[in-house]
Amino acid sequence: MGKTIAVIGGTGLCDWPGAEVLEETALETPYGVPSALVQRIRYESAEFLFLARHGHGHEIPPHAINYRANIAALQQAGVDALIAVNAVGGISERFVAGVITIPDQINDYTWGRQHTFFDGNNGKVEHIDFSFPYSQDLRSRLANAAVDANIAIEDYGVYAVTQGPRLETAAEIRRLARDGNDIVGMTAMPEAALAREAGIDYASISLVVNPGAGLSDNLITIEDIRAVIDTGMVQVKSILARCIAEY
């Protein structure tokens, strides 16, 4: 029996033109309801589960997402491997708008989020090894799929996770750069850690949609971000379809 693969996506990934929605399931968990219905999708030659991280109307801001319910729902659905899609800002020189990266490390700058299943309420405590927050096997599969699709990627990157929903100040981006971060986004944590606690392989494919604050002569506009998303997410979906079909 094959493994069950899921994709969790946010900005730019709530719609799958050309996909067939085979099933939609409303799930409840001990941590509440997930952001959206869990969909079973057939896209190109791949079949997988999909969860809209911010809701299908993109109405839930990053800091208010019920990450525990999302991961618990996917665990309940029998998911073995989870690919997160993230729209991020670029910090390091190579990570300009339009670049697709498969990050390998995380720095967490968030606060106040319900970040663990081991909160003392279920009588269990486990200290997970989080040295390498992303599954190397799943990262390699994504990288190989990009090669097969003839799509250039960066197969590394340190993802700085900020609180949001506002974008960062120029001073904050300078600090993140000093900390060794390559990209910045708002949703990798606690999602990655919760997946590890749940025993789900987890990796991210991230699309750089704008330069970090202060790294460009121009202000960051939603119109510019949307233009990059419209092009980049087509490539991201192609990588996803190839990766999942070969899993």
CB-based contact 67:26 (threshold 8 Å): no
pLDDT at 14 over 70: no
Percent of the residues in the chain that have a pLDDT greater than 90, as a whole number: 79
Average pLDDT, the chain: 93
Which residues are annotated binding-site positions for phosphate?
11, 53-54, 187
Which residues are annotated binding-site positions?
11, 53-54, 186-187
Q: Show me where the domains of the chain are located.
A: 5-245
Return the pLDDT at 126.
83
pLDDT at 214 over 60: yes
Percent of the residues in the chain that have a pLDDT greater than 70, as a whole number: 97
Which residues are annotated binding-site positions for substrate?
186
The neighbouring-strand residues paired with 158 are 105
The mean per-residue pLDDT over the stretch 5-15 comes to 81
CB-based contact 243:142 (threshold 8 Å): yes
pLDDT in tens, 89-99: 999 999 999 99
Higher pLDDT, 10 or 192: 192
Distance of CA 9 to the CA centre of its chain: 6
Return the pLDDT at 1.
47
- In CATH, what number does 5-245 get? 3.40.50.1580
Q: Can the peptide bond before residue 34 be classed as cis, meaning omega within 30 degrees of 0? A: no
Both ends of the chain: CA-CA distance in Å? 12
pLDDT in tens, 26-83: 999 999 999 999 999 999 889 999 999 999 878 899 999 999 999 999 999 999 999 9
Could you tell me which of 16, 44, 85 has the C-alpha nearest to residue 246? 44
CB-based contact 101:223 (threshold 8 Å): no
CB-based contact 95:87 (threshold 8 Å): no
pLDDT in tens, 139-176: 999 999 999 999 999 999 999 999 999 999 999 999 99
Model pTM score:
0.93
Assign 3-state DSSP to the chain and report helix, strand, coil percentages, each to 5. 25, 25, 50
Q: How many CA atoms lie within 13 A of 206 on its CB side?
A: 33
